[in-house]
Structure 1
Amino acid sequence: MISRTRALVTQWTIATPMAAVLLLAFTWGRSLPAGIVVLLTLVLAVSVLAAVHHAEVVAHRVGEPFGSLVLAVAVTVIEVALIVTLMIDGGDKSATLARDTVFAAVMITCNGVVGLSLLVGSLRHGTAVFNPEGTGAALATVATLATLSLVLPTFTTSARGPEFSTLQLTFAAVSSLILYGLFITTLTVRHRDYFLPITRQGEVITSEDHAHAPSARTALLSLGLLGMALIGVVGLAKGVSPTIESGVEAAGLHHAVVGVIIALLVLLPETIAALRTARRDRVQTSLNLALGSAMASIGLTIPAVALASVWLPGRLVLGLGATHMLLLALTVVVASLTVVPGRATPLQGGVHLVLFAAYLELAINP
C-alpha cells in the first residue's frame, strides 16, 4: 500500500501541481533573479500540461457538455482573481488592464483556438463537423457580451473617455451575469444535445466507447489537482510578468503586449485541450471550450471588476479603440459564416488564424 502511494505521488501529473503551488508560496511578491524566473517558467509550462490532463479526466467522468465547462470556468475564475490583483498593484497602468485582458481572451479563443481546432480537425478528417445550433447560440452570446461590455463604453457620454458611468457599469455587470447564466442553463439543462459532438451523418454522440469513465474518487482527485495546477499557472505567470514587462519595455513595444502574453499563458491549457479533442474528431467539444472560455472571461470578469471598482481608486477604461472594434466586428461576421453550415474546411480555420495573427501584429505594432 505504501509503495503504491509513493508511486502515485511520484507521477508527474500529481507532483507538478504541488511543486507549482510550493514555488508560488515561496516566490510570491518577491523580486526574482533570472535563474529563478527560468525555473518558474519551466514549472509553469509543465503545470499547463498537468492541468490539461486532469481537466480531461474530470471531463471524461462528467461527460459532455459539462466537461467543457470545467476547464473554462476554472481558468476564468482564477484569471479574474489575477486581474483584480494586478489592478490593485498596477497604478495608472491598470486602468485598461481588464479591457485588454478580456479582449485578448476573446481574440485568442474565437480566432486562435477556433482556427486551430477547425484546421486540425479538417486536415485530419477531411472536414470539421459540429452542431450549428449550439455553436451559433454560443457565438451570439459572446458577440452580445463583447458589444455591451467593450464597445458601448466608447460611445456613451455620461462619463469622460471610453468609460461607463456607475449606473451603466452596473447594467453591464448584471447583464453579463444574466446572459452567462442563461447560457449555462441552455448548455446543461434545456438543450444539452445542441452542444454534444455529432457524427458526419449528423447524429449526436452521447457517449464515448473507447474507454471506461474514471471513478468518482479519481475524478475528485483530478479536480483538486486541476485547481492546484491552475493556481500555479496563473500565480507563476504573475511572478514572471515583471520580467516580461521589462522585456516588453526594453523592446519598445506597447504595454498591451504584456496582457496578450499573460492571456496566452493562462489560456494555454484550454488551447491544448481543444486541439486534442479536435484530433479525435470532436470539434464540437473544441468549440464549446473556445466560445465558453470567451463567454466566461467576459461574463465573470466584468462583474468582478465592476465590484472591485467600488474600492479601487483608479479609472476603469473598458471601451475599445477603433482598430480593435473593427477586428471584433470582423471576427463576429467571419465566425457567423463559419458556424452556419455546420462543417468547415481548412480554409475557414486559416481565415480565423489570419485574423488572430492580425490581432497579434497590431498589438505589437499598433
Structure 2
Amino acid sequence: MTARLQALVPRWTTLLPGVAVVLLVLTWGRDLPGAVVALVTLVLAGAVLAAVHHAEVVAHRVGEPFGSLVLAVAVTIIEVALIVTLMADGGDKSATLARDTVFAAVMITCNGVLGLSLLVASLRHGTAIFNAEGAGAALATVATLATLSLVLPTFTTSRPGPEFSGVQLTFAAFSSLILYGLFVTTQTVRHRDYFLPVTRQGEVITADDHADAPSARTALVSLGLLGLALVGVVGLAKGVSPTIESGVVAAGLHHAVVGVVIALLVLLPETIAALRSARRDRVQTSLNLALGSSMASIGLTIPAVALASVWLPGPLVLGLGATHMVLLALTVVVGSLTVVPGRATPLQAGVHLVVFAAYLELAVNP
C-alpha cells in the first residue's frame, strides 16, 4: 500500500472513538441482548486502547506531568458526570454510590495500578526508581482528601448515620477543591521537577528523547479524540452494567462487586498507560497517573455531589464502614513506606497487590 493510500485510510485509533460514541447513543437506556453486549464489550476494549494512544500523543506534546494530568482529569470529569446522573435516577438506592465509587477508585489506583507498575518496573529493570518528593506529596494529599471526605462522616454527630450536615458537606467540598488546586499548582508550576521521571543516577528526565514531539494540530486532534474515547468508555461501561449485575446476582456475589467491576473498566485507560510507562522505566509517570487519578476522583467527585445534593431528594452517605477504614489506613501506611526511599522492589509491589486483593476478596465476601 502506498504512503498516499495509507494516509487516506483512517487509523483504527481515529475511527473507534467515534464508533464508541455512536454505539453509546444507540444503546443508551436499552436492555441489550447477549450479542449486542458482546459487540459493546469489543468496542469498549478498542476505545480503551484508543484512549491510551491519544493520551500518549497529548502527553508527548505537552510533556510530563501535564500529560498524566490530562488523562486523569478527563476520565474523572466524565466519571463524575456519570455518578451524578445515576444518583439523579436512583433515589435512595444510590445513596452510597459516590462513596463506593470514590473508595473503589482509591483502592484500585493506590494499590492495584501502583502495585502493578512497581512490579513491572522492578522485574524489568531491577528496581523501580521514582521521585520521592513528588510521590510523597501526592500520597499525602490523597490521604488527607480521603480522610476528610470518607472517614470523618462516620464519626460526626450532626446527623444520624454516616452523613455530613449541610455545613460539613460544604466544608468538605471546598477543602477538596482547595487541596486539589494546590496540588495541581505544585505539580505543574512551582515544583514541576518533583513529578518528572528520574534516571537511575537521580537525574530528572525533562524530555522524551526517543521520538520527535507531535505537532500542535496532531495533539489537538488527539485531545478531541481522547475525549470522545473516554465518553465511550464510561458510557459503554454503564451500558453493560445491567449484564454485569445479572451475572453477579446469578453467581451469588455481593452487590458491591458491580461497582468494583465498573470502576475497573473506567480506570482501564490509566492502568494501561501506567504500565506502559513502567515498562519504559518512567515510574514517576506511572505514579502520577495512579495517585493523580485517585486524587482527582475525590477532589472533583465530592464537590460535584455536594452541589448535586441541593436538588437530589435522597440521602448522601459518604462515611466508610469499619472494614474499609482499616483497608484505607493500611493503604496509607504501606504507601508512605513505599514512597519514602524513592525506589521499590518486587516486595513493595507485592504488598500493595495483596492489599488490593484483600479489597477485592472483601467485596466478594464482606
User: Which TM-score applies when normalising by structure 2?
Assistant: 0.98
Partner of 1:84: 84
Match of residue 93 from structure 1: 93
Q: Distance in 2 between matches of 1:345 and 1:246?
A: 40
* Partner in structure 2 of residue 106 of structure 1: 106
Matching of residues 44-59 of structure 1 within 5 Å: 44-59=44-59
Matched, 1:331 2:315: no
CA offset digits 1:61-82 (Å, max 9, x no partner): 0001111101100000000011
Decide whether the 8 Å contact of 1:9 with 1:15 is kept in 2.
no
| Displacement after TM superposition at 1:252 (Å) | 2.0
Asked whether the 8 Å contact 1:76–1:296 carries over to 2, the reply is yes
Partner of 1:166: 166
1:315 Cα deviation after fit: 0.9
Aligned counterparts of 1:25 and 1:337: Cα–Cα separation in 2: 46
Residue pair 1:130, 1:283 contacting (<8 A) in 2 also: yes
Once the two structures are superposed, what CA deviation does each residue of 1:307-334 show, in whole Å capped at 9, x if it has no partner?
1111111111000000000000000000
Identity of aligned residues (%): 86
Residue of structure 1 in register with 2:211 after alignment: 211
Correspondence 1:190-229 to 2 at 5 A = 190-229=190-229
Q: Which residue of 2 aligns with 1:141?
A: 141
Aligned ranges for residues 1-366 of structure 1 at < 5 Å? 7=7, 10-366=10-366
Q: Given residue 342 of structure 1, which amino acid in structure 2 is its aligned partner?
A: G
Q: What CA distance in whole angstroms lies between the structure 1 residues aligned with 2:327 and 2:190?
A: 33
5+ residue gaps in structure 1?
none
Give the letter for the 2:22 counterpart.
L
The alpha carbon displacement at 1:27 in A equals 1.1
Q: Mark the runs of 5 or more structure 2 residues left unpaired by the alignment.
A: none
Counterpart Cα distance in 1 of 2:196 and 2:4: 37
How far did residue 360 of structure 1 move?
0.3
Partner amino acid, structure 1, of 2:296: A
Paired with 1:160 and 1:5, the residues of 2 have a C-alpha distance of 67
> What CA distance in whole angstroms lies between the structure 2 residues aligned with 1:230 and 1:178?
26
Q: What secondary structure does 1:336 align onto?
A: helix
Query: Which residue identity lines up with residue 170 of structure 2 in the other structure?
Result: T
2: CA distance, partners of 1:261 / 1:213:
36
The 2-side partners of 1:344 and 1:238 are apart by: 36
Q: Measure the CA separation in 2 of the matches of 1:293 and 1:249.
A: 30
Secondary structure of residue in 2 paired with 1:120 = helix
Cα distance, 1:6 vs structure 2: 7.8
Which string of whole-angstrom CA distances, capped at 9 and with x for unpartnered residues, describes residues 282-317 of structure 1?
000000000000000000000001111111111110
| Cα deviation, residue 4, structure 1 | 5.1
**Aligned partner letter, 1:200:** R
Distance 1:332 1:250 in 2: 35
SS at match of 2:264: helix
- 1:224 offset after TM fit, Å? 0.4
What TM-score results when the alignment is normalised by the length of structure 1? 0.98
Answer whether contact 1:237 1:265 (CA < 8 A) is retained.
yes
Matches of 2:5 and 2:144, distance apart in 1: 49
Query: In structure 2, what is the Cα distance between the partners aligned to 1:208 and 1:228?
Result: 26
Letter in 2 for 1:128: A
Deviations 1:59-117 (A, max 9, x none): 00000111110110000000001111111122322110000000000000000000000
Distance in structure 2 (CA, Å) of the matches to 1:65 and 1:247: 39
Aligned-partner Cα distance in 2 for 1:255–1:9:
45
CA positional deviation for 1:9: 5.2
- Alpha carbons 1:270, 1:289 under 8 Å: kept: yes
Q: Give the number of equivalent residue pairs.
A: 364
Mean Cα deviation higher: 317-326 or 88-97: 88-97
Tell me how large the CA RMSD over aligned residues is.
1.1
1:56 CA drift (Å): 0.2
Amino acid at match of 2:163: E
Tell me how far apart the structure 2 counterparts of residues 264 and 57 of structure 1 sit (CA, whole Å).
Answer: 23
CA distance in 1, matches of 2:237, 2:275: 22
